[in-house]
Structure 1
Amino acid sequence: MSTFILSKILAIVLLIMGFFMNAQISISGKVNFKNKGIKDVSVTLKNTYDGSTTDENGTFSFHTSEKGHHILVFSHPKFVEVEKSVIIENLPLIINADLKEQISDIDAVVISAGSIEASDRKRATVLLTPIDIYTTAGANGQVTTALETLPGVQKIGETEGLFVRGGTGAETKFFMDGNLVNNFFGNSVPGIKAMDRLNTSLFKGNVFSSGGYSAIYGQALSSVLILESIDFPETNAVDIGISPIFLSGGFQNVDQAKTKSFGVSAAYSHLGLMNKIMKFNNNFTKAPESFGTNFNFRLKNKNGGIFKYYGSFDTNTFALQEESLEPETDSDNTALKGKNTFHNFSYRQKFGKYLVNLGSSYSYNQNIIDLSTTVQNSESNLNSINSTGNYFNAKGTLERKINKISAIRGGVEFNQTRENTSVAISPISYPFQDQITSVFAETDLGFSNHFSAKVGLRSEYSSAVDQWNLAPRLAFAYRISKNWTSSLAYGIFYQNPENKYFGTYDLNFQKAEHYVLQVQKAEEGRSLRVEAFFKNYTNLIKTKVENYLPAAINNNGDGFAKGIELFWRDKKSLKNIDYWITYSFLDSKRNFQNYDRSLFPNFAAKHTLSVVAKKFVTDWKTGFNFSYTYASGRPYYHFLTNDSGDYYLNTQGKLKDFNSLNFSLNYLPNLGKKEAKAFTILVLSVNNILGQKNIYGYNFSNDGMRRKPILPSANTFVFIGAFISFGIDRTQEAIDKNL
């Protein structure tokens, strides 16, 4: 009986299963992108559990018992989702679909020709963060000195400025939160290199463009450095710095909601003790001394808009004595007094689909240089030069996103310069004024995740030149494969002649055309960049001697610069070691200023090489940092003038190759101590540890018969200091960043 009942139940189950199997309908098809099958596309009936995933050929197949009207959904993270309406009856369905690429601001290829970014981590390879700069041996915490380890930047020790791809230091401009920063470097005299004025810790990132930069920026023939300040500090903190050279202190206060903050800091520096302990190449009769203070505040409104202000004031003095090259004089004496104030405002707010950026900066600078000579221990005044400058910048930009990776922006900019130079031996002063009005527009065009373009146009009017210019900019980027991308950039760039050249003759804008081609590979922990460039210069300044002084006479100078650069950074191959290697080859000729023919510039080296390595040993609580820089010998020239004031080449030669090995050590004594209420870093830094006798050039006597080398202030410089932060523990950040 039981066997009979069991067989009946089994028969009923099989009958029901057969019914449902016969009731299920097959749905199949193929999913394509540009006529090629796509793998791993999810194909499902909306609001059901029925579906499948495409195979290697893009085909799929599944069964469903659903009937009637339904929606078939095709989805994949890299493609736009597609929905197709289907009617399921009693016959199998074959449904094909063609997908479109999903445009993503994360996956989209980014134009990076000529540009090295350290800001948006999702869209660019992060190269030099503030921690990177502080831990680069030999950089001394200076943004510009750290950038000298990157491709295209020359190692210059006799004067301040970024000399990029055959361009002078005056051809690089600096920006903070979009605003022009005049007097980025401290006051100085020829042969003594001034340091950056802005503190590296102010900034959360930077974009250094060595060519082909955006239409948003102008008045720079070679390159721009765009610094972006932090929005808000992490927490309240008090910072103290102590060393034989300087004493600094400051605090930052921020509310818990991070809607407002303010801070003040000050620093005093005196090189007197080091001047007595170490051997300096400069004979300082008054050791360099400086005092600086800065203050900031930030406000965030209810709608997310941010207002930021930064202000600073600094003074510096020094005096030095050098053996004279003139036979009738024993020594030449130079004394400097400088002071500067800088203020920067920025406001960023989103209104619906529009992003508004407004900003303004103001700088006042005074430089007083006293020149005298000593003959048989008797000093006589030779001259005194007093230069003052007022600089104002205002800028407004409006931007709107078109889609996730496309945008359009435009704006206006105004720069005003008022300078006055008085010379003690002259009864007249030398004033200069200029107003530059600029308009610009630019669009980012994302055609796909593999191809994008940037098209821009900038126009400027200068009252000093009394002309308008028109500068188009164009760039493309194409993703070759998952890790390889390529970029191509072209642009025309204009810059006013330096203010000191305006006088009797009418001058025009100087002009440069940039062509940049880049190939880049980026993967987790590693990045490789190869970049080729060509720059064509026209309308460069030419000078001659009039009334015993150099004067610009026309814009008939020209030149070119071309080369290839390599950058490799690796945080992965060697355990707990971060290193990068750069190499640059430069071929350049210029006929400008006092050159009487086309010559390789005396501020450029044909070959440069930098190696930077960092390792943090947790057990020892210590970071070890090394850097090495090599530059092939630069040329040097000395020109004399004939009776007409025209220059002619009298002496030329080549300097010996530049070599410098630098080392720094950072010790964290409180590492691992949870009860510690302060974060402390002890720093030991040695620049040019091997004591190489580097030479930056030569000074010549008036008749060109005698010369002496231009040397660094010290062949080897040692720094010891302690930095203490109360109220914030940066230990983990220090370890993560290979401090």
Structure 2
Amino acid sequence: MKTQTKTLLFLTFFLSFLGYSQIKISGKVSFKNKGIKDVNVTLKDTYDGATTDSEGNFSFETAEKGSHTLIFVHPKYTEVEKAIAIADQDVAVNAELKEQINEIDAVVVSAGSIEASDKKRATALLTPIDIYTTAGADGQISSALNYLPGVQKVGETEGLFVRGGTGTESKIFMDGALINNYFSSSIPGIAGRDRFNTSLFKGNIFSSGGYSALYGQALSGALMLESVDLPDQSSYDFGVSPIFLNAGFQKLSDNKNYSYGATLGYSNLNLMKEVFNFNTNFMDAPAGINGDLNFRIKTKSGGFIKYYGMFDTNTMGVKTESLEPEYDFSLIRLKGKNTYHNLSFKQKFGKYLLNTVASYSYNQSDLNFSTEKNQLESEKTQLKTDGNYINFKAVIDRKINKISALRGGLEFNSASEGLTFGQVSKNYQDLISAAFVETDLGFSNQLSAKIGVRAENSSYLNKNNIAPRFALAYRFAKDWTTSFAYGLFYQNPESKYINSSAKLGFQQSQHYIFQVQRSTEGRSLRFEAFYKKYDDLIKTRNIVPDSDQNQQVQAAFNNDGYGFAKGLELFWRDKKTFENIDYWISYSFLDSKRNFLNYPVSLKPNFAAEHTISAVAKRFIPEWKTGINLSYTYAKGRPYYDIVTENDRNVIRTEGRLKDYNALNLSFNYLPNLGKKDAKAFTIFVLSISNVLGNKNVYGYNFSQTGSRSSTVVPPVNTFVFVGMFISFGVDKTQDAINNNL
């Protein structure tokens, strides 16, 4: 009995001793003097610890003694360790954490640009299938961009008309190399089409202002296209419609480290010309042959070598009633041909990433103007242009930390062009050399900046320029960011205006852009305000009498032109609110004036609409295996001018405003392979109707020499219907088509 009592007393004493030996460790964890919840606080190499509450406070007890280390861990903050000494008294420890810098959470500078190569940073994902399923885009990248804010709807000529800039003031790049003549050759009043297959590119960055110092020679905007890497597997593709036939293949090696492929296509609008009531009288329906080939090699060290080459030829002939009383008709015939080659190499060397790209292109456009009287053709005049272009760029990129980087490089752009029109003959040769450096500075997950500078030299102009670029982004609330961008941009005068006797310099523009953006899963809201100031724009006068279809050769005589563009833009995209529906809405307000080319005074440009509204909606119905796509564009009527040269001065003879532009487009995509898990082929049927309501839109006017007669510039056809079938053997892209369409 005594023994049991002694044992009980001992246990009571021991347990009491353990209770009193527990030491309390407590404190507060904060960031910028604000408590942080859910921080794991542990005593290193023990199981003792706690998690902070909503105010950052923590406390726990331990029986440990002596020197120990307290660890504070949270995924959004840098891990902190603190040495403590545990004796016989409670310990109070406070910790101030630093934000964990990581690429996923970091704010991204996006003022002026819309990126579709990195989904976490994208405002508008214009993937190839996204473009193909946008009604009215006709499968063209440039046409799909017309449904984004900042891009003007100009149907009478090709080019990206961005924020009050001409179509030639926005440039297009492939893997960093400038693409000269991205659009096919065409005749006045009819826009050229994209020469490049949309499926060639896996992503794009479209900048309507304030773009990177890595790119130059564009006063208004830049479209940076990124070509695809290795295909997922080998495949064969066919496309058939009343307009074209094409076929191609991609072969992937067994070890999946290289691939090669080619396509060939033929197009002819003759059948559709017979079916539809065209506004344009095609003597020769538009026709063309195109082909391309490619290879892609993945090096053993993870680098990439990519080659792409293409060629195309196109012809067409148009007959219109002559505006001059001495002729019955005016005739224009076109023969165009083009080739383009692009070779790029990307490789990482230690901490450095090297990107090099070289491209070569040749383009020829042969326009023949003539008149007809009593079915006899006469008064023939030829306008022939050709050009050889070589571009080389090398960029070295080094990461400083997870969200900061430094890059720099060199670029050389050589152009050799010739122009012949009647008695006028011009040759133009220029080498533009450029050096650039740019840094991404990530100060925190809430604040980042991009600072760059670009310097150029033109051998033809014999002048240099230095163009600084700066952008800042700040996240002021969850999902909300704001950005500001400034940039100075230079561009050579267009070679077709250059007169060897004129002493010309670079044209320049300054961009100021302010943006507020909210991005959440499936939704994006974007507001942007901008101001652009133009200086040193070229001024021109006619050097050939206006004798054929209002065709004039103008020559620049000074750089005294100037102008401005300012505006507001709104963009909203929503894939979440309505099941299986993806839609976006964009609005652009533009106030712009210019005194350039042959404008006698400062005028609103004839390519700038004050208000533009676009809407795109896509609905996929799984039960029907069908996608239904709608798009609508409204643009306030643009101004037009009849400007002529009198007594060596340019004067406005007639001016006015076009009717408002309206177009509703509709397309259907049928995917018969839906649900076939073992499908070895992917088939899609496409039905597209442009301008469903048949609105008679007008792009401008042509005037006679005396101004007494005029004719409208209109689309070749008011309403157009396209039917086609596309088949891919060896790979089923059905799910990709569905996912990218929602």
TM-score by length of 1: 0.97
- Hey, what's the Cα distance between the residues in 2 that align with 1:101 and 1:698? 61
1:330-382 Cα deviation digits (max 9, x unpaired): 00000000110000111111111111100111100111111111001101142
Structure 2 counterpart of 1:704, from 682, 702, 707: 707
The Cα shift of 1:590 comes to 0.4
The Cα shift of 1:272 comes to 0.6
| Corresponding residue number in structure 2 for 1:574 | 578
Structure 2 counterpart of 1:523, from 510, 517, 520: 520
The Cα shift of 1:470 comes to 0.7
The Cα shift of 1:547 comes to 5.6
Q: Report % sequence identity.
A: 60
- Hey, what's the Cα distance between the residues in 2 that align with 1:721 and 1:735? 18
Structure 1 counterpart of 2:616, from 592, 612, 617: 612
| Corresponding residue number in structure 2 for 1:634 | 638
Pairing 1:50-449 to 2, within 5 Å after superposition: 50-423=48-421, 425-426=422-423, 429-449=425-445
Kept in 2, the 8 Å contact 1:640–1:704? The answer is no
- Hey, what's the Cα distance between the residues in 2 that align with 1:145 and 1:489? 26
| Corresponding residue number in structure 2 for 1:695 | 698
Runs of 4+ in 1 over 4 A off after TM superposition: 4-14
The Cα shift of 1:87 comes to 2.0
| Corresponding residue number in structure 2 for 1:718 | 721
SS in 2 for 1:480: strand
**Length, aligned pairs only:** 734
The Cα shift of 1:55 comes to 1.2
- Hey, what's the Cα distance between the residues in 2 that align with 1:530 and 1:469? 32
Per the alignment, do residues 198 and 664 of structure 1 end up closer, same or farther by CA in structure 2, a change over 3 Å counting?
same
Structure 1 counterpart of 2:539, from 539, 542, 556: 542
- Hey, what's the Cα distance between the residues in 2 that align with 1:83 and 1:675? 54
Per the alignment, do residues 85 and 370 of structure 1 end up closer, same or farther by CA in structure 2, a change over 3 Å counting?
same
Kept in 1, the 8 Å contact 2:124–2:573? The answer is no
Query: Which one-letter code corresponds to 1:631 in the other structure?
Result: A
SS in 2 for 1:737: helix
Kept in 2, the 8 Å contact 1:106–1:123? The answer is no
- Hey, what's the Cα distance between the residues in 1 that align with 2:167 and 2:8? 92
SS in 2 for 1:275: helix
Kept in 2, the 8 Å contact 1:510–1:538? The answer is yes
- Hey, what's the Cα distance between the residues in 1 that align with 2:84 and 2:532? 60
The Cα shift of 1:705 comes to 1.1
- Hey, what's the Cα distance between the residues in 2 that align with 1:227 and 1:418? 25
| Corresponding residue number in structure 2 for 1:565 | 569
SS in 2 for 1:18: helix
Per the alignment, do residues 680 and 11 of structure 1 end up closer, same or farther by CA in structure 2, a change over 3 Å counting?
farther
| Corresponding residue number in structure 1 for 2:668 | 665
Per the alignment, do residues 64 and 653 of structure 1 end up closer, same or farther by CA in structure 2, a change over 3 Å counting?
same
- Hey, what's the Cα distance between the residues in 1 that align with 2:7 and 2:372? 122
Kept in 2, the 8 Å contact 1:640–1:703? The answer is no
Kept in 2, the 8 Å contact 1:110–1:124? The answer is no
SS in 2 for 1:639: strand
The Cα shift of 1:692 comes to 0.4
1:15-40 Cα deviation digits (max 9, x unpaired): 44322222221111111211221111
| Corresponding residue number in structure 2 for 1:481 | 477
Kept in 1, the 8 Å contact 2:50–2:60? The answer is yes
1:606-637 Cα deviation digits (max 9, x unpaired): 00000100010000000000000000000110
1:526-554 Cα deviation digits (max 9, x unpaired): 10000000000010111123464522110
- Hey, what's the Cα distance between the residues in 2 that align with 1:735 and 1:257? 29
| Corresponding residue number in structure 1 for 2:656 | 653
Kept in 1, the 8 Å contact 2:448–2:473? The answer is yes
- Hey, what's the Cα distance between the residues in 2 that align with 1:571 and 1:491? 33
- Hey, what's the Cα distance between the residues in 2 that align with 1:635 and 1:579? 31
Kept in 2, the 8 Å contact 1:239–1:726? The answer is yes
Kept in 1, the 8 Å contact 2:287–2:315? The answer is yes
- Hey, what's the Cα distance between the residues in 2 that align with 1:479 and 1:161? 35
| Structure 1 segments unaligned to the other structure (5+ residues) | none
Structure 2 counterpart of 1:643, from 637, 647, 655: 647
Kept in 1, the 8 Å contact 2:447–2:474? The answer is yes
The Cα shift of 1:9 comes to 7.0
The Cα shift of 1:256 comes to 4.3
- Hey, what's the Cα distance between the residues in 1 that align with 2:706 and 2:255? 68
- Hey, what's the Cα distance between the residues in 2 that align with 1:517 and 1:337? 45
- Hey, what's the Cα distance between the residues in 2 that align with 1:339 and 1:13? 100
- Hey, what's the Cα distance between the residues in 2 that align with 1:377 and 1:654? 36
- Hey, what's the Cα distance between the residues in 1 that align with 2:616 and 2:4? 82
Structure 2 counterpart of 1:505, from 502, 506, 530: 502
Query: Which one-letter code corresponds to 2:641 in the other structure?
Result: Y
Structure 1 counterpart of 2:605, from 601, 604, 620: 601
- Hey, what's the Cα distance between the residues in 1 that align with 2:531 and 2:735? 43
Structure 1 counterpart of 2:732, from 709, 729, 734: 729
- Hey, what's the Cα distance between the residues in 1 that align with 2:136 and 2:675? 28
Query: Which one-letter code corresponds to 1:671 in the other structure?
Result: L
SS in 2 for 1:702: coil
The Cα shift of 1:11 comes to 5.7
Query: Which one-letter code corresponds to 1:201 in the other structure?
Result: S
SS in 1 for 2:741: coil
Structure 1 position 456 matched with structure 2 position 452: yes
SS in 1 for 2:512: strand
The Cα shift of 1:675 comes to 5.2
- Hey, what's the Cα distance between the residues in 1 that align with 2:339 and 2:325? 41
Query: Which one-letter code corresponds to 2:457 in the other structure?
Result: Y
1:256-277 Cα deviation digits (max 9, x unpaired): 4431010111110011100001
- Hey, what's the Cα distance between the residues in 2 that align with 1:79 and 1:272? 66
- Hey, what's the Cα distance between the residues in 1 that align with 2:488 and 2:345? 29
SS in 1 for 2:620: strand
SS in 1 for 2:518: strand
TM-score by length of 2: 0.97
Query: Which one-letter code corresponds to 1:394 in the other structure?
Result: F
SS in 2 for 1:234: coil
Query: Which one-letter code corresponds to 1:589 in the other structure?
Result: K
Query: Which one-letter code corresponds to 2:612 in the other structure?
Result: T
| Corresponding residue number in structure 1 for 2:16 | 18
SS in 2 for 1:412: strand
- Hey, what's the Cα distance between the residues in 2 that align with 1:166 and 1:720? 35
| Corresponding residue number in structure 2 for 1:495 | 491
- Hey, what's the Cα distance between the residues in 1 that align with 2:12 and 2:125? 68
- Hey, what's the Cα distance between the residues in 2 that align with 1:579 and 1:477? 27
Kept in 2, the 8 Å contact 1:527–1:570? The answer is yes
SS in 1 for 2:60: strand
Query: Which one-letter code corresponds to 1:100 in the other structure?
Result: K
SS in 1 for 2:55: coil
Query: Which one-letter code corresponds to 2:529 in the other structure?
Result: A
SS in 1 for 2:290: strand
Kept in 2, the 8 Å contact 1:46–1:70? The answer is yes
